[in-house]
Amino acid sequence: METHAPFTLGPDHVAFRDMVRGLARSRFMDSMLERSQSEKFPMSEFGELAEAGLLGLCINEENGGQGADELILGIAVEELAYADPSMAYLVFGANGANGLLAAQGSQELKETWLARCIAGEVVTCLALTEPGAGSDAANLSTRAERVEGGWLLTGEKTSITQAVHADIAIVVAQTAPGTGTKGIGSFVVRMDDEGVQAHPIKDPGFKPLGRGSIVMDKVFVPDSHVLGEIGKGFSLVMREFDLTRTLIALMNIGTAQRAIDMAIEYSKQRETFGRPIASNQGVSFVIAEHSTFTSAVRVLGYHALGLRIAGQPHTAEAAMLKWWGPQVAFNAIKDCIVLHGQVGWSDELPLQAMLRDVSGCMIGDGTPQIQKLVIGRELIGNVVMGR
Ligand SMILES: Cc1cc2nc3c(=O)[nH]c(=O)nc-3n(C[C@H](O)[C@H](O)[C@H](O)COP(=O)(O)OP(=O)(O)OC[C@H]3O[C@@H](n4cnc5c(N)ncnc54)[C@H](O)[C@@H]3O)c2cc1C
C-alpha cells in the first residue's frame, strides 16, 4: 500500500503542484502586472489553462475531465494565484460551473456546452446575487415562469464575475414565489439571447475578468437547460459553497505567499543605516508572523478538502476559511507593501494589484459576518440565525 506521512502531500500531489507551479511562474507571473491593469478578457491564457487540463479537474473522464480529487483543485488555484490571482479565478470559476454542468446537466446540455467549456472555448458565469438579495441569497426576485417546453426568465442579477464576457450563465431563479427555497431552480442561459443584457461594473481588482449585472426579459430556457431538479436549485449552489469558500482561502494565501517571498528578497538586499533591513526584528518578525498565519490557513484548507474527499461534513471549516483566509492574506500583503517602502505602494510592483484582488474575495461567496453565522449555526444550532 502506498503511504505518505500524514498532513503532507503525497507524490502525485507534489508532482501536480510542481507542474502547475512551473506553468504559472513561467507563463503568467511576469505579465500579471500589465494584465491586472487591463479590462481585456484573457482568452488566450484561458486557452492555455485548458490545454494544461485545468478547467475540468474534478470532472470524471467520461465527461471529458481529469477525474482528480478536490485537493488537486486547491493546489491548482493556490499555485496560479501566486503568479496571477486572475488566472486562479479563471480556473476556480470554470471548475465550479463545469462541475455543475457535468454533475447536473442533461445529455443535451453536456453535448452542447461541456466539452467546449473544458476546452476553454466557452466562458461561463454563476448568477445568484441580485440587487436585493446578496447575503440573504434565497430571497430571489428573478422569476422563472413555466411555459411549454421550458421556462421564461425575467429579472436582474448583479455582481456577477465575468458577466460581460460570458457565453453562458448559470442563473438561479424562483419558479414559485412564496415557497422559499422549495421553488428555486438553476437554469443555463445563453448570454447572446436577445432578451439578455449585461452591464459592466467598474472595479478596483480582477479587472481582466470584470464583474457585471445581467438583466433578463422573458428569456426562454428549454427544459434541457435546467440543472438538476426544480426545487433543488438553491441547495445545488449552496453545496458548492463548501468547496468554493475553501478554494478562495487557498487562492488568497497563494497570492500572500508571493508578497511574503517578495518581502524576504527585498529585505535581504535593501539596506538602511548600513545594514540590510532584514537584520531588524521589526522586519523579520513581520515576515515570521504572516508566514505563520498563511501556513495555518493552508493546513486548514487542505484539511477541509480532505474532509470533502472523505465525504465528511466540512461546512464549518469552509466558513472558517472564507472569513479568515482573505483577512490573513490581506494583512500579509498590506504589511509586505510597507516592508517595500515607497516602491511597494507604487504600481511598478504588483503588490497593490494583489491587495485589491484579495480584498474583493472578502465579500464574494459570502462576507465574514455571514461565515461566522454559518460557523455558529454549525456549532450551536439554528438559534444563531434567529430561528
Ligand atoms: C469580487 C466579487 C465577486 C463576486 N462574484 C459573484 C458571482 O460571480 N456571482 C454572484 O452571484 N455573486 C457574486 N458576488 C456577490 C457576493 O456574493 C455578494 O456581494 C455577497 O454575498 C454579499 O451580498 P451584498 O453585497 O448584497 O451585501 P449585503 O447582503 O447587503 O450585506 C451588507 C453588509 O451587511 C452585513 N450583513 C448582512 N446580513 C447580516 C447579518 N444577518 N448579520 C451581520 N451582518 C450582516 C454583511 O456582512 C455586509 O457587511 C461577488 C462579489 C464580489 C465582491
Per-residue pLDDT reduced to its tens digit, 40-90: 999 999 999 999 999 999 999 999 999 999 999 999 999 999 999 999 999
Cβ–Cβ under 8 Å, residues 336 and 294: no
pLDDT reported for residue 103: 95
Domain residue ranges of the chain, discontinuous segments joined by +: 11-118, 124-231, 234-385
Q: What is the mean pLDDT of residues 147-172?
A: 98
Condensed to tens digits (0 to 9), the pLDDT of residues 17-43 reads 999 999 999 999 999 999 999 999 999
Give the residue from 386, 284, 372, 385 showing the smallest Cα distance to 335: 284
The yes-or-no verdict on residue 2 having pLDDT over 70 is: no
Condensed to tens digits (0 to 9), the pLDDT of residues 264-288 reads 999 999 999 999 999 999 999 999 9
CATH of 11-118, one of 3.65.10.10, 1.10.10.10, 1.10.540.10, 3.30.9.100: 1.10.540.10
Share of the chain above pLDDT 90, in %: 94
CATH of 124-231, one of 2.10.109.10, 1.20.1250.20, 2.40.110.10, 3.30.300.30: 2.40.110.10
Cell 543605516 belongs to 273
Condensed to tens digits (0 to 9), the pLDDT of residues 80-134 reads 999 999 999 999 999 999 999 999 999 999 999 999 999 999 999 999 999 999 9
Which DSSP string do the residues of 176-230 spell out, in sequence order?
STTSGGGGEEEEEEETTSTTEEEEEE--SS-TTT-EEEEEEEEEEEEGGGEES-T
Distance CA 341, CA 367 (A): 31
To the question of domain 234-385 being in CATH 1.20.140.10, the answer is yes
Residue 186, ligand 1, Cβ within 6 A: no
All three cell numbers of 47, joined, read 486557452
pLDDT reported for residue 242: 96
110: CA distance to ligand 1 center in Å? 31
Distance CA 47, CA 144 (A): 34
Q: What is the mean pLDDT of residues 196-201?
A: 98
Q: Output the pTM of the full model.
A: 0.97
Residue 365, ligand 1, Cβ within 6 A: yes
367: CA distance to ligand 1 center in Å? 6
Residue 1: pLDDT band (50, 70, 90) is low
Which DSSP string do the residues of 250-311 spell out, in sequence order?
HHHHHHHHHHHHHHHHHHHH-EETTEEGGGSHHHHHHHHHHHHHHHHHHHHHHHHHHHHHTT
pLDDT reported for residue 21: 98
160: CA distance to ligand 1 center in Å? 11
* All residues at 6 or more sequence positions from 245 whose CB lies less than 8 Å from its CB, including other chains: 318, 319, 321, 322, 365, 366, 371
Cβ–Cβ under 8 Å, residues 172 and 240: no
- Average pLDDT value over all residues in the chain: 96
Amino acid at residue number 258:
R
380: CA distance to ligand 1 center in Å? 23
12: CA distance to ligand 1 center in Å? 37
Residue 327: pLDDT band (50, 70, 90) is very high
Residue 319, ligand 1, Cβ within 6 A: no
Residue 358, ligand 1, Cβ within 6 A: no
For the CA of 172, the closest atom of ligand 1 is 11
